[in-house]
Chains A and B, each alone.
Chain A
Amino acid sequence: MTTEVADPASSAPTVRQPGLLSRVMSGKTGPVAVMLLLILVIWYAGAVYLNAPRLIDGYERNDTEWNFSQLTDDAWAMERPILPAPHQVLIEMNDTIFGKKITSKRSLVYHSWVTISSTLLGFAMGTALGMLLAVGIVHVKALDKSLMPWVIASQTIPILAIAPMIIVVLGAIGLTGLVPKSIISMYLCFFPVTIGMVKGLRSPDPLQLDLMRTYSSSTSQVFWKLRWPSSVPFLFASLKVAIAISLVGAIVGELPTGAQAGIGARLLVGSYYGQTIQIWSALVTASILAGLLVALVGVAEKFVLRHMGVIHAGGAR
């Protein structure tokens, strides 16, 4: 059959439509879909490769006949695989996200909410602390000299090492639950905020500062009318990093609490019992959450920068 599909574009003879492929790939969906497909292929292949030795051992012990398609089928359907297949993770996520009441201890929504709430609290505290430090560093010479080395040193301490200590110490003075986890988030996320904010507050060019000087304006006027607005694009760039590592901090903070609740708890419980599917579904959920949080900051950034008219900064164009 050679039915020519009537192409509406062909009636306009001079306009040559670009090929379907290049049209799809020029958008955002095309490349994203291709990447996703690639990851899935590698993931499935990896599941076979990693799970095969144990399966083959089993076949040989039981003297079962096996071929390659048998092997892949089994590798993608194990109960405790080394690497679960994507669809296993999806089914588990579907079960625990939509299949359980959100108040249930087995619901991923419940655990996500626990993690998100300490992420957001930690993010808010970290942002406030980061901004405060930045304002101090920019305005007080002594702080610039004395504080900056400490700020940088604070990030060279591995968080995994001090997280249990923070939890224990705060627990001893009666702080448990949300706050200690948020403090670990804060500890991680104030850093990019300070660095970005210091850079932003120092970004006005000399002429813009000279102008303020000619008006003999006060330090606070210079701050509110010049330094602060100049720093906003820098601030948002930092906030995107900050919210992502704030989530990491919250998850790390959940590990030493005896795994009561949160995505970190799911990870820990999963690894106690070799529940790899549970571990992976918690991991995937965490990365989806991270993506959503960063996207949320991105939306706020676009909105604020457009409102400020600074469309050429911060990649909002």
Chain B
Amino acid sequence: MQNVAVKAEPAAANRSAGNSVVETEQLSLTFQTADGPVYALSNVNLTIEQGEFVSFIGPSGCGKTTLMRVIADLEQPTQGSITVNGVTPQEARLNRAYGYVFQAPALYPWRQVDRNVTLPLEIMGLSKEEQAQRAAQYLDLVNLKGFEKKFPWQLSGGMQQRVSIARALSFEPDLLLMDEPFGALDEITRDHLNEQLLRLWEKTQKTVVFVTHSIPEAVFLSSKIVVMSPRPGRIIDVIDCNLPADRTLDARETPEFLEIAHRVREGLRAGHSYDD
């Protein structure tokens, strides 16, 4: 199929695919390294529906980042199939279907904070006013008002990560891929951003794929939790998680919350024992 044709009707392709945003079937990825093959993903079957908030949780090295990169067409699977918005990941990427928050901030050091946020907007050709307005809006959202003219090295690691979140939000993609976006933040900022992200998700009906190491964070945010285990990286449990939509941070003390958290913990434990 021609790229041009796809670009012309991304929305149509999206709708016709039965609203599943990501669909994988027997997806496997093996890295060939100098010390032999690394089985990063093995037979992953996963469906992410439109509007879901899906968290990947699992021990370090179990393939969370790799799975995310396959969805984003930054890594090619060695076996199985995957569609994003009903088309191949490459076509989805060319349609600019998603915003990606990397595990590290990946800011451009010669650009001030606001110009880091407008980078994707420049590439997509938005007007200068629109760019400025969006930069202000999303920097405000991540509590970085007043830091627009700083260079990245003048910010703390957590602030840099928040800039990268604002950058991914700024072009308002329907699918957000977030790889441990809050890993480097203090508890209070993290709580704040968790609530902000939840509100944003409810309001905009975005689909969010989220990687975290924190069970409470996963349970609080997600509509679906995917528990993974390493060597080879695979899915060992998928937990539906439907806390009330208007939940606040207090929801973390409710019995429903604790029950789901318990189930996630059990899943992670089981994954670990496979290892030995």
Contact with A along B95-137 (1 / 0, CB 8 A): 1101110101010111110000001101110000000000000
B-chain residues with CB within 8 Å of residue A312 when the two chains form the complex: 153
Question: A221, B74: Cβ atoms under 8 Å?
Answer: no
- With both beta carbons as reference points, the residue of chain A lying nearest to B91 in the complex is identified as A216
Question: B74, A309: Cβ atoms under 8 Å?
Answer: no
Known: A210-B102, A312-B153. A216 touches B109 (CB 8 A): no
Question: A225, B119: Cβ atoms under 8 Å?
Answer: yes
- With both beta carbons as reference points, the residue of chain A lying nearest to B105 in the complex is identified as A207
B-chain residues with CB within 8 Å of residue A216 when the two chains form the complex: 93-96
Check: A151 CB closer than 8 A to any chain B CB.
no
Question: A214, B109: Cβ atoms under 8 Å?
Answer: no
Q: Between A and B, how many residue pairs show CB distances below 8 Å? A: 52
- With both beta carbons as reference points, the residue of chain B lying nearest to A233 in the complex is identified as B110
Check: B72 CB closer than 8 A to any chain A CB.
yes
A314 to B235, CA, bound (A): 47
Separation in Å of the B88 CB from the closest CB of chain A? Answer: 13
Separation in Å of the B90 CB from the closest CB of chain A? Answer: 9
Q: Which chain A residues (201-226) contact chain B, with CB distance < 8 Å?
A: 205, 207-208, 210-217, 221, 225-226
Separation in Å of the B201 CB from the closest CB of chain A? Answer: 20
A-chain residues with CB within 8 Å of residue B104 when the two chains form the complex: 207
Known: A215-B124, A216-B94. A210 touches B153 (CB 8 A): no
A217 to B104, CA, bound (A): 20
Check: B151 CB closer than 8 A to any chain A CB.
yes
Known: A207-B102, A214-B72, A216-B93. A309 touches B109 (CB 8 A): yes
Question: B74, A210: Cβ atoms under 8 Å?
Answer: yes
A217 to B120, CA, bound (A): 9
Among A213, A221, A309, contact of B110 (Cβ-Cβ < 8 Å): A309
Among B94, B96, B110, B124, contact of A310 (Cβ-Cβ < 8 Å): B110
- With both beta carbons as reference points, the residue of chain A lying nearest to B92 in the complex is identified as A216
Among A208, A215, A309, contact of B123 (Cβ-Cβ < 8 Å): A215
Question: A211, B110: Cβ atoms under 8 Å?
Answer: no
Question: A217, B106: Cβ atoms under 8 Å?
Answer: no
A212 to B74, CA, bound (A): 11
Question: A214, B108: Cβ atoms under 8 Å?
Answer: no
A-chain residues with CB within 8 Å of residue B122 when the two chains form the complex: 225
A199 to B235, CA, bound (A): 41
B-chain residues with CB within 8 Å of residue A229 when the two chains form the complex: 108, 110
Q: Is the interface of B mostly helix, strand, loop or mixed?
A: loop
- With both beta carbons as reference points, the residue of chain A lying nearest to B96 in the complex is identified as A216
Check: A308 CB closer than 8 A to any chain B CB.
yes
Category for how many chain A residues contact B: 20 to 34
Known: A207-B102, A210-B102. A217 touches B123 (CB 8 A): yes
Separation in Å of the A315 CB from the closest CB of chain B? Answer: 16
A-chain residues with CB within 8 Å of residue B109 when the two chains form the complex: 309-310
B-chain residues with CB within 8 Å of residue A212 when the two chains form the complex: 123
Question: A208, B96: Cβ atoms under 8 Å?
Answer: no
Question: A308, B123: Cβ atoms under 8 Å?
Answer: no
- With both beta carbons as reference points, the residue of chain B lying nearest to A205 in the complex is identified as B106
A215 to B100, CA, bound (A): 9
A190 to B108, CA, bound (A): 28
Known: A225-B123, A229-B108, A309-B110. A211 touches B102 (CB 8 A): yes
A-chain residues with CB within 8 Å of residue B93 when the two chains form the complex: 213-214, 216
A258 to B12, CA, bound (A): 76
Separation in Å of the B152 CB from the closest CB of chain A? Answer: 8
Q: Which chain A residues (231-286) contact chain B, with CB distance < 8 Å?
A: 232
Among A205, A213, A225, A226, contact of B74 (Cβ-Cβ < 8 Å): A213
A203 to B8, CA, bound (A): 35
Separation in Å of the B268 CB from the closest CB of chain A? Answer: 27
Question: B112, A211: Cβ atoms under 8 Å?
Answer: no
A213 to B106, CA, bound (A): 13
- With both beta carbons as reference points, the residue of chain A lying nearest to B94 in the complex is identified as A216
A-chain residues with CB within 8 Å of residue B120 when the two chains form the complex: 215
- With both beta carbons as reference points, the residue of chain A lying nearest to B152 in the complex is identified as A309
B-binding residues in A (CB < 8 A):
205, 207-208, 210-217, 221, 225-226, 229, 232, 308-310, 312
A-binding residues in B (CB < 8 A):
72-74, 93-96, 98-100, 102, 104, 106, 108-112, 119-120, 122-124, 151, 153
User: Can you list 23 A-B contacts (CB < 8 A)?
Assistant: A205-B106, A207-B102, A207-B104, A208-B108, A210-B102, A210-B106, A211-B100, A211-B102, A212-B123, A213-B73, A213-B74, A214-B99, A215-B120, A215-B124, A216-B93, A221-B123, A225-B119, A225-B122, A226-B108, A309-B110, A309-B111, A309-B153, A310-B109
Known: A211-B102, A215-B120; 13 extra A-B contacts, CB below 8 A, are A207-B106, A208-B108, A210-B100, A210-B106, A212-B123, A213-B93, A215-B119, A215-B124, A216-B93, A216-B94, A216-B96, A310-B109, A310-B110
